[in-house]
Amino acid sequence: MSMDSTTIIAVASIVIAGITTGFGTMGPALAEGKAVATALTSLAQQPDASATITRTLFVGLAMIESTAIYCFVVSMILIFANPFWNHVIAKVTGG
């Protein structure tokens, strides 16, 4: 069974999208866990600074989460708006 270039591009896009989402969410998940653990430790040591620590924590979590969102966006582009499709379709149709 041989695979044509369209099938290879489709399989590669789906596999890379899965890998991107998998690895792209592992790092932020670990970083968010560490950030929350550190914030809880800081809150236990300095309860009077809870407003500042909490505000800084939420800003940091938003920055960390944006990395996972970027990876998700790249995955969606690979699956639904793959830039390689136009090139492959042009080669297949002879255009």
Is-contact 42 53, C-beta < 8 A?
yes
| Fold of the CATH domain 5-87 | F1FO ATP Synthase (1.20.20)
Residues 23-60 pLDDT 10s:
999 999 999 999 999 999 999 999 999 999 999 999 99
Taking the C-alpha atoms of residue 70 and residue 88, their distance in angstroms, rounded to an integer, is: 26
Q: Which of 59, 52, 51 is nearest to 35 (CA)?
A: 59
Residues in the chain: 95
* Residue 94: DSSP 8-state: T
Domains of the chain by residue range? 5-87
In this prediction, residue 2 carries a pLDDT of 60
Residues 2-26 pLDDT 10s:
677 778 888 888 899 999 999 999 9
Q: Which of 10, 3, 6 is nearest to 89 (CA)?
A: 6
